[in-house]
Amino acid sequence: MYDFEYHRAASLDDAAGKLKSADDGTLVAGGMTLIPTLKLRLASPSDLIDISGLAELSGIKAEGDAVVVGAATIHAAVAASSDVRAKIPALADLAELIGDAQVRNRGTLGGSIANNDPTADYPAALLALGATIRTDHREIAADDYFEGLFETALDAGEIITQVAFPVPEKASYQKFPNPASRYALVGVFVAKGPSGVRVAVTGAGLDGVFRVTEMETALAENFSPDAIKDVSVSADGLNADIHAGADYRAHLIGVLARRAVADCT
């Protein structure tokens, strides 16, 4: 990696200020995505501003009909949280399926959704649960947040502080891991909640996470695996690589969606 200046932010304001005054600064939370990028010399930020310890970004709490998770919360904490387990077990399951123990003990929710890797798991949960992304400036609905491959609605210098997940009636996440990387080759999050039935797919789309509205409509009428057994997902717009062709991914979306519906709790 190239040289950079390292700063530990004292507060959210301090982080925002340091980010602004740096030449070409970058936030670092768990570093699980950023550090490998630096090691491969694919980025050369002038400054790293570490937000991993900030009180404003940490903690998990129930807030009315939602579970609110601080942006700097590590995946392992979400997986282990009794609040998450009790209210949205599918979200805890998802966190448990991310990477390996080391990654889960460093990587954060904020880092994951700021990065918006098309094969990451969390985007499916945010979209299916109709979550709200809170930043140091505003609130963004998940529907408006994910804008394509590694693209989000965040402005330059904007810091994610929390994500509010409305508690669904039931939900399930089914992940088909990429055999090599264990990121999602296809991941389907099905939720029945305040914003109706939602089916969100990660891993498969050329533009990142997306919803399968045809399945949502069918499930709204009849929430059972059978209701979607004839909904075929088009391979158009799906990713193809050495691990899976677009048609296979399309097929898996159907299988996983049915399994998710069957598994919904």
Give me the residues that bind another protein (CB under 8 A), please.
1-2, 40-41, 176, 179-181, 183, 242-245, 248, 251-252, 255
Handedness of CA 220, 254, 120, 95 (dihedral sign): positive
Residues 6+ apart with CB under 8 A from 103: 30, 32, 75
Q: Counting contacts by CB under 6 A, is residue 114 touching ligand FAD? A: yes
Degrees to nearest 5, angle at CA 104 with 109 and 198: 45
CB of 186 to ligand FAD, least distance (A): 12
Query: Is residue 25 a contact partner of residue 18, using CB atoms and an 8 Å limit?
Result: yes
103 is a contact residue toward ligand FAD (CB under 6 A): yes
Nearer to another protein, 84 or 186 (CB): 186
183 binds ligand FAD (CB under 6 A): yes
Q: Buried b vs exposed e over 109-145: b needs ≥16 C-beta within 10 Å?
A: bbbbbbbbbbbbbbbbbbbbbbbbbbbbeeebebeeb
What tokens does 14 get?
A: 């301090």
Tell me, residue by residue from 120 to 139, as one string, x for binding to ligand FAD by CB under 6 A and - for no binding. xxx-----------------
| Helix or strand run (H / E) with residue 115 | helix 109-115
Is 99 one of the binding residues for ligand FAD (CB under 6 A)? yes
CA distance linking residue 177 with residue 175, whole number of Å: 6
Number of C-alpha atoms within 13 angstroms, CB side, residue 253?
28
**Pick 110 or 208: Cβ nearer ligand FAD:** 110
* CB of 45 vs ligand FAD, minimal distance in Å: 9
| Binding map of ligand FAD across residues 141-170, x = CB under 6 A, - = no contact | ------------------xx----------
Residues 200-219, one symbol each (x = binds ligand FAD by CB under 6 A, - = not), give --------------------
Q: 185 or 197, CB closer to another protein?
A: 185
> What CA–CA distance (Å, rounded) separates 177 from 38?
25
With CB under 6 A as the contact rule, which of the stretches 81-89, 95-103, 166-174, 224-232 interacts with ligand FAD?
95-103
Query: What residue ranges bind ligand FAD (CB under 6 A)?
Result: 26-34, 51, 71, 98-99, 103, 106-108, 110-112, 114-115, 117, 120-122, 159-160, 182-183
